[in-house]
Amino acid sequence: MRRVIRRLPALWRATRLARRWYHARFGAYPDWQPIVSADARMWQNARTAAAGGRRVLLASSIGGYAHAVTLESALGAALTFRGADVHVLLCDAALPACAECEASFYPNLTQFVAAGPAPDLCRDCRWPAERVYRTLGFTVHKYSDWITPDDAAAARETARTLPAAEIQAFTLDGVAIGEHAYAGALRFFASGSLDSEPMGDAVLRRYLEGALRTAYVSRRLMRSVGFEAAVFTHGIYVPWGIVGEVARSEQVRVVAWNVAYRKRRFIFSHDDTYHHTLMTEPRDHWEQRQLSPAEDAALGRYLASRRDGLFDWIVFHRPQRTDAAETARRLRLDPARPVIGLLTNVTWDAQLHYPANAFPNMVEWLVRTCEYFATRPDLQLLIRVHPAEISGFPQSRQPVLAELRKRLPQLPPNIVVVPPDSDMSTYTLMSLCNAAIIYGTKTGVELTSVGVPVIVAGEAWIRNKGLTYDASTPAEYFEILGRLPFADRLTGSHLARARRYAYHFFFNRMIPLPFVEPRAGFPIYRLRLRGLEELRPGASRGLDTICNGILERRPFVLDEQKAGALARATGS
């Protein structure tokens, strides 16, 4: 029995490798051959017309990201129909660490530190993606074709010798190498800090070397071939964050995308990851736009559906308890004292530099907030720990409550904590509150649209919209807390404005693609194309919006023409 137990990590890992091989061979990637064959003349004419056109780089890089390859192959075909010469960049086991790697895959981390992903993860990563892209006739560039032995040696030596304290802020010719390497290492460990990881430094140095290699590859490719735009998912981590940094430095336009909450919808952003752009985008497309009764009703229906994720494909929690009165009783909340809600987010997610944040990280914010409420017995603080700590991927290795207990072993009686595995509804919990305090969660968009006042201390997307109380320093933050409880909820024109932004966010920034079909398992969607006609101009308003954005730098806003005309008419 002990022998079997000792072998469990190896068996589990072998099972995961076998599953990756199965997904690569069967069903996880789109089969373009029958689609192209059915319209062979149309496709050949489109490719001939696009030869010599504006070059667009699909910097997929990680072939194992089947959902990214699925969408980007469809975008490549659509861009070809619009006259673009499409190229692809794929890693071929050239990186010592990347976003495909995670600590849970390696029961013995010494194996990863010694050899990286090459002996296992890399085996079934590149070839299925390359097969997809070559079927469409795209030019495929491999990392190893664009890195010299001198580049590789320089990356290895820098990663080996750079002092640990200098890695996070390290730049190369103005490219923020260290920031993305550090974010990648945090994602690998699913933790907001490397301090408690015995092999944190060694893993970070692997990501630093990977970031440097990516920079050398991207720069040489872009200078040699020349591209008008580079398109890729996320826009952060290794390698995509580095590709974006290099593209910007080489005056190549950047388009970053990610799966949106709503099924069949995606968020695209110009110049940078949406983690940054959604906080700074212009207000022109929503601020002056009045919602029709039908649009407001549609928003209301969607917001109601968010409670159980009926129309979403990203769902971290399906609550069982939604009765507000019962919830208040179970938590023993004092009806005589106002309740202030606090929503955490996952510590490791998108750990980039945000200069507007009031605190250096979420844990520090949480600790300082609890210390403040210890001095306010007239209020109750209701902390809801994000369910994604246990239901997200990868699962967090730095639970918020454990970090909080290290700093504050005993919480005062006016602070109530709802753990991530609770079956209580987050929306029901917030309905009990006078106001909500957030750091980086997206829930602020929903809370303001139903009238809950929101205080923002971090990089939440609702920041900078004129809808929330935004703090950029500790002094500003505690001054806002000093005003609690607030006299009123959001009403009248303020609430109407919040709902306009929510509609913009959920309906116009999340762009639908009708040929993307949600599915259970991996990946979370597949293509459902009856033919290439569905990718031609005019066939899909969402696809036209995305392609016009990539080729013409038009806003990635579904209702852009209507919103833009309104903005011009009102002088905004």
165: burial class by Cβ within 10 Å (0-12, 13-18, 19+)?
A: exposed
pTM: 0.90
Q: What is the largest CA-CA distance in the chain?
A: 76
Contact predicate 215/238, CB 8 Å: no
Residue 20: its pLDDT value, please? 56
Instruction: Give, in degrees to the nearest 5, the angle at Cα 211 between 210 and 213.
Output: 65
Residue 520: its pLDDT value, please? 79
Residue 519: its pLDDT value, please? 87
In the chain, what are the domains?
2-280+541-555+557-561 (no CATH), 304-508 (3.40.50.2000)
Contact predicate 211/184, CB 8 Å: yes
487: burial class by Cβ within 10 Å (0-12, 13-18, 19+)?
A: exposed
Nearest to 418 by CA among 505, 331, 528: 331
**Two tokens, residue 480:** 């806002």
* Position 182, amino acid: Y
Contact predicate 97/207, CB 8 Å: yes
Cα(89)–Cα(146) distance, integer angstroms: 10
Q: Where are the alpha helices (DSSP H) in 162-236?
A: 164-167, 177-189, 200-225
Cα(231)–Cα(60) distance, integer angstroms: 8
Residue 351: its pLDDT value, please? 55
Residue 536: its pLDDT value, please? 98
**Two tokens, residue 290:** 């009045």
Q: In sequence order, what are the residues at sequence separation of 6 or more whose Cβ sits closer than 8 angstroms to the Cβ of residue 57? A: 87, 88, 89, 221, 222, 225, 227, 229, 230, 231, 252
Residue 1: its pLDDT value, please? 44
Q: Tell me the mean pLDDT per 10 residues along the chain, length 572.
A: 46 57 68 96 98 97 96 98 98 97 90 94 95 98 98 98 96 95 92 89 98 98 98 95 97 97 94 91 91 96 82 58 88 97 79 72 94 98 87 66 91 95 91 96 93 95 95 97 97 96 96 93 90 97 98 91 40 31
Residue 13: its pLDDT value, please? 57
Nearest 5°: phi and psi at 434? -70, -35
Contacts 24+ apart (CB under 8 A), 167-175: 167/204, 167/205, 167/208, 170/208, 172/212, 172/215, 173/249, 174/249, 175/215, 175/242, 175/245, 175/246, 175/249
Q: Give the CA count within 13 Å in the CB-facing half-sphere of 486.
A: 21
Cα Rg of the chain, angstroms: 24
Q: Where are the alpha helices (DSSP H) in 450-540?
A: 474-481, 492-503
The helices-and-strands tally (H runs, E runs) of the chain is 23, 15
Cα(553)–Cα(231) distance, integer angstroms: 12
Residue 322: its pLDDT value, please? 73
Q: Hey, how many other C-beta atoms are within 10 angstroms of the C-beta on 36?
A: 19
Residue 345: its pLDDT value, please? 86
Residue 570: its pLDDT value, please? 31
